[in-house]
Structure 1
Amino acid sequence: MSTSPRRALIVIDVQNEYFDGGLLPIEYPPVAQSLPRILQAMDGAHAAGVKVVVVQHHAPKGAPVFQADAHNGQLHPEVARRHRDHLITKATPSAFTGTDLAQWIADNGIDTLSVIGYMTHNCDASTVFEAMHRGLAVEFLADATGALPYENAAGYASAAEIHRVFSVVFQSNFAAVASTEGWLAAVRDGQALAKDNVVVSNQRGRARAARA
C-alpha cells in the first residue's frame, strides 16, 4: 500500500488587488519573485497529477478591497488561465470557512494541503492553522507566498519580519516549510516533507540565544 502523500495544491487569493490595487505590492518575497514560483508550482502540480484548488476572496460592493465586481477582485490573469480542478470563493481569511473545501478534500481523498499565494500572515496562516486542526498534513511554499508591512497600535513589523516569523512558527508545529523547488522534488519522489516540533524548535532557539 502506497504511503505517498495525497496532495492538493491550494492557490490562495492571487488577485489583482495585490498587483495594482489597494494592497500593493506584496513586499516580501516581492511579487516579481513570488508570482513566478506560484505559476511554477501550479504547472508542476498539474503535470504531476496533483489537484489544484484556486481560491479567490470576494468582498461586497463598496468594500475597500477585493470587490467581487471590480477588476482588483479578479484572479491574476496568469493564475486564471492555468488549469485548476476546483475554484473556491471565500469571504473570510480561512479557505475552509463558508466554503466546500473540507468536503472537496474528503471526496478526493486528500491528506496533504500544500499552500501558496497571499498573504503569509492572513489568509495563508488561517488556512494552514485550520487544515492542521482538521487533521491534514500541511506544506507551506515560502517562496511562493508573501507578506506586507504593518503598523498599528501594537507596533511595526516589516514584510520580511512577518514572513520570516510566520514561516518559523509554521515549521515548528503546523506545516512543513519548503521552497517551490524542494516541494516539486518531493512531489516527483512521492515523499512527504517534514515539519519540526515545538520542543526542539525552542531548544534550538535557546541554544542560539545562549551563544549570542
Structure 2
Amino acid sequence: MRKALLVIDVQNEYFTGKMKVTYPINSFDNILAAMDYAKESNMLIIIIQHTALNGDSFVKNTDEWKVHRKIMEKHHDYILEKNKSSSFHHTDLDRILQNDKIETVVISGYMTQMCCDTTAREANHKGYKVEFLLDATGTIDVSNQIGSITSKQLHEATLIAQSIGFSNVISVKDWMKK
C-alpha cells in the first residue's frame, strides 16, 4: 500500500509570526521524525505551503510565509502552494497522488482544525485512506465572538471528530511501528 506524507503549512508564521503553535509542544519534532521515517520507508513526501490571497498572514515572499528551514532541509518530493484550507483545492495534489498510485495520505502539520482537518476530510471523500498524526499536527488557542478554546481542547476535539469517520488517528511512534 503506497503512502504519501503531507507536511502541511509548517511555515515560519507558526514559529515567529502572530500564530505561534502551542499544542502539542513536541509537534514540530514529531513532524521532522515523520519526515525521516517516510524517507526511510520510500513514501512520497509532499510539502504544502499556504499563501493568503488577502490579509496580513501568509503573505507571499515574506519571512513568515516561508516554509521552516528545517523542513526544507529534509528530503521531499514536491512543494505545492495552496490558497484555501484544503491541500487539494486548485493544486496538483490529487493528480500527483493518482500518478504515484498512492492509496493512503498521512496528515502532519498546522493547524489541526483548519488545513489538516480540511485536507483529511477531502482526502477521505476522494477515496484515500487517511492517517492523521495526532502528535505531528498542532494548533493555537482561539478566542473570537463565538467563544474561547485552548489549543489542547481544540486539538483534541478535532482529533475526536476525525476519528469518528474520516481518519485513523495515530501517534507518530505507533505509526512508525506499522
Quote the offset at 1:63 in angstroms: 3.0
State which of 11, 24, 41 in structure 2 corresponds to 1:29: 24
Quote the offset at 1:27 in angstroms: 1.1
TM-score by length of 2: 0.97
In structure 1, C-alpha distance between the alignment counterparts of 2:164 and 2:177, rounded to whole Å: 22
Contact 1:58/1:89 (<8 A) preserved: yes
Give runs of ≥4 in structure 1 deviating > 3 Å.
none
Quote the offset at 1:59 in angstroms: 2.1
Secondary structure of the 2:131 match is strand
Q: How many residues are aligned here?
A: 178
Output aligned runs, 1:178-193, within 5 Å.
Answer: 178-186=170-178
In structure 1, C-alpha distance between the alignment counterparts of 2:15 and 2:144, rounded to whole Å: 23
State which of 38, 44, 58 in structure 2 corresponds to 1:51: 44
Residue segments in structure 1 that go unaligned for 5+ positions in a row: 187-212
TM-score by length of 1: 0.82
Output aligned runs, 1:89-168, within 5 Å.
Answer: 89-168=81-160
| Structure 1 vs Structure 2 CA RMSD | 1.0
| 1:114 alignment partner AA | V
Higher relative contact order (CA 8 A, sep 6+): 2
Contact 1:38/1:117 (<8 A) preserved: yes
| 1:42 alignment partner AA | M
Superimposed CA distance per residue, residues 36-69 of structure 1 (whole angstroms, 9 cap, x where no aligned partner) = 1000000110011011000000124x73101111
Percent of paired sites with the same residue: 35
Residue segments in structure 2 that go unaligned for 5+ positions in a row: none
Matched residue, 1:199: none
Secondary structure of the 1:104 match is helix
Check if 1:75 corresponds to 2:75: no
Whichever of the two has the greater Rg, that structure is 1
Could you say which structure has the higher helix fraction? 1
